[in-house]
Structure 1
């Protein structure tokens, strides 16, 4: 059996590949159509105009669905692990589940409401995604260390903690600098007063987004070890 067919590890593999392609394909199309600048546009800028907005919206929705499935599978894995070891507080596991679901909801809002048309709703969705997403990977890092040695290896635990740290460090300058940027402009000029704030926030946004995506790569070994089954019960 191929490694990506073992257990449920196809879920995080698909999520990472599909989400990465979502950002990259939308960026390339927007760049080809000259809708954005070459150097670090906002992720949302690459999906602001059709046809890339249509592709970005559809692919992001699929990413959100894959994210929900992966996050729920991780929740059930920790829940089962905790039944035998009691090393993780159940409230932490449930909190991580809800944070993960909220981040996926934020992704759907971002994909549905373009930043140039419904800016406030789009920004609210983006804020929900980033806050919930960063909080999720931080909490999952804590859960990983709590479950050691019954869960992941120590190397994987540190890898998760490192990715979470990068996301946290990039998150704060992203939020602060975004407040000083005119977000309705898709093309930037180095002479703009807000250019340095824009560049900092855009770079940090890409770092946070890909930190969140890459975090799910660390689930692959864990997801090889289990499967989920649906039991159907009915009454006559």
Structure 2
């Protein structure tokens, strides 16, 4: 079992994030919770009931963003290691970017769950993670795009991503400068409470700076969504298989192992019980090794297809991203996958 259309994952990231922004905006405007013209994204998702929809959709967006980041990492591993057998710094950089992308996804979830009128520090921290880490991730993935072209996508894709990065960087700076720094709300907040949102009008001071900040935030968010959506271009010819769960034999002191507990061939016995098992590991291995001969020709053939799996990281013992048309040839030449 697997997923043959992995390009749907970045598409769902785009759909859920866009739905969160637009749905909360229209509800907030309809209920007169925010101004009609260019409120901050967070302002339109602060007051119930729109805050509930905003948070739920952003959580889903964060989930699929994390999945998209992982798919991109595995695509890089497939390209460099399985296709070209290349060693180098790409492995460490891709792993680092994997966690940078996860941090951005975490920030998106924080923004949706912690409203600015309740816990503003946590909300701003989430926004900084989402946009800041997202910007670093986008620039680094653009470099990978240029290095992997034209084998995965046309150069125009890399050029488009570079343009998105430049635009995003510019509006990230303007959002910081003209938003919380220069575009602060006057002291006469509606209702006199700090938990209320301010309704801006054109005759007030800092209005122009405020509008530059809000427009910058919207454009930055749209650019980041489109950037993640662009991963679908390279994933349209890829598929992934279901994660593999491998069971191994387990032993308890003073008890013989059950044949039903042994499912796959293994040279290392793992105990589910603590105690003196580690002292007798070698002896137990010699006694139990014959029971590992599984009389299943189909299963044995599946193990023969991979030359050596002992050194593989958990769950990375087969290629996830290969063209189905060349799957047979690939299986004959696959080597251990490394990060």
CA distance in 2, matches of 1:149, 1:168: 26
In structure 1, stretches of 5+ residues that fail to align are: none
2:105 aligns with 104
CA distance in 2, matches of 1:95, 1:158: 23
Using structure 2 for the length normalisation, give the TM-score: 0.65
Q: Deviations over 1:22-70 (max 9, x none)?
A: 1101100001001111111000001010000011001100100010111
1:23 aligns with 21
Partner SS state of residue 248, structure 2: coil
CA distance in 1, matches of 2:199, 2:136: 31
Out of 7, 10, 28, the residue aligned to residue 5 of structure 2 is 7
Count of residue pairs brought into register by the alignment? 232
2:166 aligns with 165
2:177 aligns with 176
CA distance in 1, matches of 2:14, 2:109: 17
1:202 aligns with 214
CA distance in 1, matches of 2:104, 2:204: 32
Deviation at 1:225, TM superposition (A): 2.0
Q: Deviations over 1:98-154 (max 9, x none)?
A: 111111111111111111111111111111111011111111111101122333210
In structure 2, stretches of 5+ residues that fail to align are: 186-193, 250-339
Matches within 5 A, 1:54-133: 54-83=52-81, 84-85=83-84, 86=86, 89-133=90-134
CA distance in 2, matches of 1:192, 1:97: 44
CA distance in 1, matches of 2:23, 2:105: 20
**Greater CA radius of gyration, 1 or 2?**
2
Using structure 1 for the length normalisation, give the TM-score: 0.93
The Cα RMSD (Å) is 1.7
1:40–1:199: 8 Å Cα contact kept in structure 2?
yes
CA distance in 2, matches of 1:101, 1:130: 12
1:221 aligns with 233
Which of structures 1 and 2 has the larger relative contact order (alpha carbons within 8 angstroms, sep 6+)?
A: 1
Deviation at 1:6, TM superposition (A): 5.1
2:38–2:215: 8 Å Cα contact kept in structure 1?
yes
Runs of 4+ aligned residues of structure 1 deviating over 3 Å after TM superposition are 181-186
More helix by share: 1
2:45–2:115: 8 Å Cα contact kept in structure 1?
yes
